[in-house]
Structures are given as structure tokens and as C-alpha cells.
Structure 1
């Protein structure tokens, strides 16, 4: 892969994970009118309405879909779309934000581990060092530099929900890599979102969303539209394209950009204070992403390649 294309892919992944940071802001607005499962369903159903026509227009030669492919698409829908979002919103409602953020921040580590074990991707020392640097940045950001708050945490039942979110997103990324060997990022994302919407529908019905329609605000609908178009359609396609090009392990490092973009957007749109700890954390994240994705250019590579498993 030439240098120019490599930087283009890194730019796409940065844009994708940055848009995911905006979902925290949009979610805060949407939750004023609707319950979590309903927000998730409306978001992904709206995205599906956009994605299917785009797929039919852009993808002229879609490979024949077998029963195994349908099963994998359904797995993507139930892991990264349905279960992940239900777990994430439940955690947002019942767990401290710091604890939730730390669990989600640990996601790239599990993705890298599974990529080595299942996909046999090569994990380099630079990948690991970059990931640890970026995670250190996330920890600094979400704890506001006060690491003592982590020690005060105690085990609670909600931690299983948080763990569920981490595991399902890691599975979504790894299974996606398998699907992307045959299908494009647009096809993979479209069917994953389609199945995810179906799985989310019954949970949304249980929340009786029709009772909230009369009191729903335009800002809530705009927030859901933003999550459908930018966070899901744009973000997910770019993320899957990145996985397809550079692998799930390396692409996962960019997930650490998400909390940085969320904090910056919260400062701009919600008037929250940008602290020194946040700026230091952001530097760690950017440094980690750079180290984890850069290749040491020497005549004889001194990078030790260690396959996991």
C-alpha cells in the first residue's frame, strides 16, 4: 500500500471515530424525548432507509449471498447494532460515566487480542505501544487526571452490561473483517444495520414510543437524523473500509479518537470546560494513534512481529 492511500485511510478512520464522538451529544438531546431502545431503532432504521438505495445504486456486482453469509450478517446486526447499543444505553443510564468510558476505552485491546487469535493478524510492538499510549490518554480524559477515582470503583451488576458492550463491539469488528473478505464495506454495513434494526424493533415496542410522539421535540428528531446519516451511514462505512484495508487490530486504535472528539464537541456545543487533563489526554491519544499505525522505515525491519495464538 502506497503512503498516500495509507494516510487517506487513516484520515477516513479518524473522521469515522470523530463522528461517533458526536453521538454522545446527539444522544443527550434525543433522550429528552425517547427511551434508549427507541432512539437506537429510529437511528438504525433511518440509516437502513438510506443505505439500501445507496447499496443498490453503487454496488453493481454484489457476490451471491449464501446461507452462511446471511448468518454472518445477522451476527453483525445482533452484536454491533442491537446488543451493543442496548448495553451501552443501559450503562449510560445506570453506571457512572467514568466507568462506562473506561470500559469502552478498553475495547481496542480486546479487538486486537481477538484479531490475533481468530484472524491471525500480525500484532507488532508498535501496535501494542500505540494502543497503550492511546488508552492512557483516554484514562486521563475520563478521570480528569484524578486516577484515584478508579480505585474507588466497586464491582456492580451493571459491570456485566458494560462487559457485554465491550465484547459485542469487539465481535462486530472481528466478524466484520471476515465478511469484508467477500463483500464491500457498503454491503456489509447495510445488511448489518438492516438486521440490527429488526432485532431492535421489539425492544422499542416495549417502550411504547407512540406515547412520546406528542411531546417529542424537533431537536430530538434532528439529533436522531444526525446519528442516522453521519454517525451510522458515514461512520460505519468508513470504519469497515478501514478494517478491510489495514485490518481490525490497527483500525481499532482509532476508536480512542472518539472520547477526544466527544470532549471537544461537549466544550463547543454544551459549554463544558476544556481542562488541562483533557488536553494532556488528547496528546497521549494522538501520539498513541501515530505510533500504533506508523511503520518503522528501515532497510531491515527491527519490528518484532508477534502473532497471538
Structure 2
């Protein structure tokens, strides 16, 4: 597979993931968010497992792998999607898309702490710029920190949960195929989410009766294309061109989220959001370590404190 084709596929995946925020915003306005999310993730998990089964990649798991999958599912599926679904009921899709762009940056910080990655000048500046960009987004032209919405806070918790899961997944996939782990994570996490939804949303199942053909088409597109196929193709790109080079494409997510929110939801795009977007993109490029891994002279990547 040519490098240009991989790049093109990554751009398409980022467009799907960016627009998926818009799809989720629509869905949580019509269904109970946690109940809906559990069924969406379950559908995605079934799709991945079926693909693995028909391609002969499904196998028995070891006890250690089950522990890894269960732990990762708690963060990547349960916590991440729970906070995302609830957060989208309390903030705009454009804000959510921009805050979600922090995933590679937060992952980079955690990788320094837990995986021993270098903490370089580029990363330090990137972290500062990235979080400054988020402040532009969440304050959205307001005058104080008390204006930050609880929805924005939930979205950030969603980002933190996913970043933690990436650290766990990085350790687990040293001995386990990422597609196998993804499929079982989605299935296990969706079941946990369903039981949580029974407690949080007693009338959640009845809300599904309000669905129209239009809404269920959005549901299937989100589950199959964004969650199932999107993650499988992204993991394949990581294997072929590396994590650092693949992660840089995540910067396109907020762009597609902003455009989608503007065209499909009628949300306005403020100057503070545009400035936040620019700072987040620059911050992720620097903070994710992309420049450190791209042949930049080592004297410009001096490790802080050394």
C-alpha cells in the first residue's frame, strides 16, 4: 500500500471522526445518552469481532490479555464514551470537537510520566500552547473561569480517560494484535456501559422507541464507520507509518467538527474558537513529539533539566 494512499485514508478517517461528534450531538438530543452509547459501542464491537472471525484472526485470550482488555475498556470505552455522551448534552459540538483534539497532547504527557518518553523543549512549549488553546475554547469570549461549562469539563475528562487507555493499550499491544484488543474492548465496555445506563437512566430503553429511520441511519453510520472501521483502519496506519506520523492527522478532527457544527447544527464559530483551534494544532504538533521524531537536530530537542 502506497504512502500517499495511507495519508488519504487517514484524512478520510479524521473527517469521519470529526463529523462523528456532530452525529453524537444529534443522537444524544433524542435518546438517553448513556443507553444510546452502550448500544452504539456494542454494535461496533460486534462488527469488529465478525471481521476478525471471518478473516481468521479471532483467537483465545490469555488471562493477562483479559486483564489488559478489561482495564483498557474501563477507560477507553466506559469512562471515555460516558463522559463524552453526557458532556455533549451540556456543551456545543464545536467546543467538544476542539477539546477532543487534546487527546494526543494529553497522551504525550502521560507517556512521559508512565512510559519514560523524553520531555523536550518542543513538548513543554506544545503542552502550554495546547492547554492555552483549550482555555480560549471553553471560555469562548467570557470573562472568567466560572463561565466554563460542566459539559466542557466532562469532555476533558473524556479526553483524559482515552489518553490513559492509550498508555494501557501501548503496553498490551506489545504481545497482542490491536484489532483483537479493539474488538473485545468494545464488547466488554459496552456491556458495562449498559449496566451503568440501567442505573443512571431508568427510562433509557424506552427512549430508543423515539427513533426515526433518519436517527437510526446516523446511529449505524457512527457505530460502523466511525467506531468500528475507523479505529481498525487507524490502527493499521499506525502499524504501517508509525504512531507519531499517524497522530499528526488527529489535528484535522477539530477542523471537521467546527465545519460540521456550522453547516449541520447551525452553531456559530467565534474568534476565540478559531484562535483556540490554531493554538491547539500548534500545541499538538509540538507536544506530541512529532518534530522530535522527524529528524530535527538534537540540540533543538534538548531534554529539559539535562
Contact 2:137 2:276 in 1 (8 A): yes
Q: Structure 2 stretches of 5 or more lacking a match? A: none
The verdict on how the C-alpha distance between 1:115 and 1:49 changes in structure 2, with shifts beyond 3 A counting, is same
- 1:306 paired residue among 297, 303, 306: 303
Q: Which residue of 2 aligns with 1:69?
A: 65
Q: Note the alpha carbon deviations across 1:145-186, whole angstroms, 9 max, x for none.
A: x2x445344797x89856643432121111111122122332
Contact 1:84 1:165 in 2 (8 A): yes
The aligned runs of 1:17-28 (5 Å cut-off) are 17-28=14-25
Q: State the alpha-carbon separation in 2 of the partners of residues 139 and 251 from structure 1.
A: 26
> What value does the CA root-mean-square deviation take over the aligned residues?
3.8
Three-state SS of the structure 1 residue aligned to 2:89 is helix
- 2:231 paired residue among 226, 231, 236: 236
- Return the offset for 1:234: 2.7
Which segment is superposed worse, 199-208 or 174-183?
Answer: 199-208
The aligned runs of 1:121-200 (5 Å cut-off) are 121-130=117-126, 132-141=128-137, 143-144=139-140, 146=141, 148-153=142-147, 164-200=157-193
Q: Which residue of 2 aligns with 1:31?
A: 28
Three-state SS of the structure 2 residue aligned to 1:293 is coil
Q: State the alpha-carbon separation in 2 of the partners of residues 8 and 115 from structure 1.
A: 29
Q: Which residue of 1 aligns with 2:43?
A: 46
Q: State the alpha-carbon separation in 2 of the partners of residues 101 and 48 from structure 1.
A: 23
Contact 2:77 2:186 in 1 (8 A): yes
The verdict on how the C-alpha distance between 1:123 and 1:214 changes in structure 2, with shifts beyond 3 A counting, is same
- 2:206 paired residue among 202, 211, 221: 211
Q: State the alpha-carbon separation in 2 of the partners of residues 160 and 290 from structure 1.
A: 23
The verdict on how the C-alpha distance between 1:67 and 1:23 changes in structure 2, with shifts beyond 3 A counting, is same
Q: Structure 1 stretches of 5 or more lacking a match? A: none
Q: State the alpha-carbon separation in 1 of the partners of residues 121 and 103 from structure 2.
A: 18
Q: TM-score, normalised by structure 1?
A: 0.77
- Return the offset for 1:199: 0.9
Three-state SS of the structure 2 residue aligned to 1:212 is helix
The answer on 1:56 being equivalent to 2:53 is yes
Contact 1:131 1:289 in 2 (8 A): yes
How many residue pairs match? The answer is 298
The verdict on how the C-alpha distance between 1:196 and 1:230 changes in structure 2, with shifts beyond 3 A counting, is same
